Chains A and B, each alone.
Chain A
Amino acid sequence: MAPILSIKDLRKSYEGGFEALKGVTLDIEQGEILALLGPNGAGKTTLISTVCGITTPTSGSVTVGGHDIQTDFRAARQMIGLVPQEIALEPFEKVWNTVRFSRGLFGYGADSARLEEILRKLSLWDKRRNAIKELSGGMKRRVLIAKALAHEPRVLFLDEPTAGVDVELRKDMWDIVAELKASGVTIILTTHYIEEAEAIADRVGVIDKGELLLVQDKDTLMAQMGKKQIEVMLNEPVDAIPDCLSAHNLTLNGAGDVLVYTYDTNADRTGITTLLNDVAQAGLVLRDVQTRQSSLEEIFVNLVSGEPA
């Protein structure tokens, strides 16, 4: 099946020569959730802005549902919804009016039933007659989402949707995203919160200095690049790692009662069995054994810093 969003060699240079995007190529399949990770100034927002028509690309092409964003911009934009990073709303406008306005911009009449459905889904129905300035920060974010969904887009961009949002609301947002995915909406979100990508994304893209460093299935990425550790907890603390265990490249914690073994999950032999045998032969008594996998955050930091994971 053709990708719903296809970005080919997209470049964006600003006056003064700053290159915000350096030839980004990316295909996004219908119905998936892609999380774009990257530090500040990596080019995440520029990428979204360019696809959505806010920024004009210097070169390259983007198609949405097969429609080119420049030559067939009406059909392309019709399919896109955008939730911006900043809370940008008219403070004196009523919730209902501002969502109806968004729907109108996309060529739809005010379908009261549809607007009600959106507002109810986002728990905004009771606030529909309130002016935006009367709402809390979290509610304003919901209004932004309602506006983006007002024209029933097939592709939704969420630019840092949970920046500055409390934990409860963040979980709510994740539920909303899951619901949208279930209804077939393709979602591209940028985030600083690695756990957000880890929790909801199907694929993860890492962008830095205008370049897409990788795009991969989240689980595969974690399996491929993730290190796993075994913590061997000892019954009695030791002063140093016994010589007979030196071949295993272990580390000992400060208290001397936990041996940490790091291994590659993809290696043919993890060396766990040998390690545990050697530990037993060294006369050490185990109290407990637990494993820990490196998080997406560690993978991300390693990628961006250029160090091997």
Chain B
Amino acid sequence: MNWSAIAAIYRFEMTRFFRTLAQSFLSPVLSTSLYFVVFGTAIGSRIQEVEGVSYGAFIVPGLIMLSIVTLSISNASFGIYFPKFLGTIYELLSAPINFIEIVIGYVGAAATKALFVGLVILVTATFFVDLRIEHPFAMAAFLILSCLSFSLLGFIIGIWASNFEQMSLVPQLVVTPLIFLGGTFYSISMLPPVWQTITLFNPVVYLISGFRWSFYGFADVPIFWSLLAIVAFTGICLAVIGWIFKTGWRIRS
């Protein structure tokens, strides 16, 4: 393992994060605060409590998940797409590093940034609502696994994309709708029975449900399925990346 190369990529990516601190850090904090104000106040005044938790507190896990999933994907996809776009990828391809080391560097940095923002949102939330975390280790595990797995997905998107339009295609047309329809702002038990069944085909439901369970101890789906979903999703992403590694798809001509 060329650890020095991994560290170089990681540090280079993190430098970009700190250089654009306002965009990387303040923007998610501001948008999350707006969610609290708008959703928490407007809808929270009509929905007093969900399963004994105030509506404002109920949406916190979903909001964190919304941010870290979106950020993991955008960080990792831009991280690897930018060198392709600028042509600087020649340096990665001609260095004594293999694809796994490149993935660890970029995905590690993307996941770290998302994790950092997720924790900031968590702290920000404490200013608006009373939070409790019943299963802190499970919460940390879900948080880290979600950052890693969606960073892997972002990396795949960045490798696949050949223009900026394609970069935003999957996040905007697939991921964001799935998150919004995945129980971020509601419990699926609030839905009509037919929609409850349909919703179960949305993989993000398992993610948010499991993450919410780690906070408040209740879930829309059994926690085992949530764990299985996130592990399976990570496995699929790793398999795709393994295939890219073998074939050099869209990287090496």
Contacts and interface: CB of A to CB of B under 8 A. Distances in A.
Contacts of A100: 8
Contacts of A102: 91
Contact of A74 (B11, B82, B87, B96): B96
A250 B113 CA distance: 78
Interface in B210-253: 248, 252-253
A129 B86 CA distance: 21
Given A88-B86, A89-B86, A104-B8, A54 B95 contact: no
A84 B87 contact: yes
A107 B96 contact: yes
Interface string B1-39: 010110111011001100100000000000000000000
Contacts of B12: 93, 97, 101
Contacts of B2: 74, 105, 107
B11 A104 contact: yes
B94 A78 contact: no
B252 A56 contact: yes
Interface string A207-233: 000000000000000000000000000
Given A86-B87, A88-B88, A54 B93 contact: yes
B82 A106 contact: no
Contacts of A75: 96
B133 interface: no
A106 B95 contact: yes
B164 interface: no
A44 interface: no
A193 interface: no
A55 interface: yes
Nearest to A98: B12
Given A104-B11, A107-B4, A88 B90 contact: yes
Nearest to B82: A90
A225 B16 CA distance: 55
A76 B92 CA distance: 15
A74 B2 CA distance: 9
A105 B91 contact: yes
A102 B91 CA distance: 8
Contact of B94 (A54, A86, A89, A109): A54
Contact of A56 (B91, B92, B253): B253
A78 B8 CA distance: 16
Given A53-B94, A97-B15, A107-B2, 7 more contacts: A52-B94, A56-B252, A74-B2, A77-B95, A90-B86, A104-B7, A106-B5
20 contacts: A52-B90, A52-B94, A74-B96, A76-B96, A88-B87, A88-B91, A89-B86, A90-B88, A92-B16, A93-B12, A93-B15, A97-B12, A97-B15, A101-B11, A102-B91, A103-B8, A105-B4, A105-B8, A106-B5, A109-B4
Interface of A: 14, 49, 52-56, 73-78, 80, 82, 84, 86, 88-93, 97, 100-109, 147
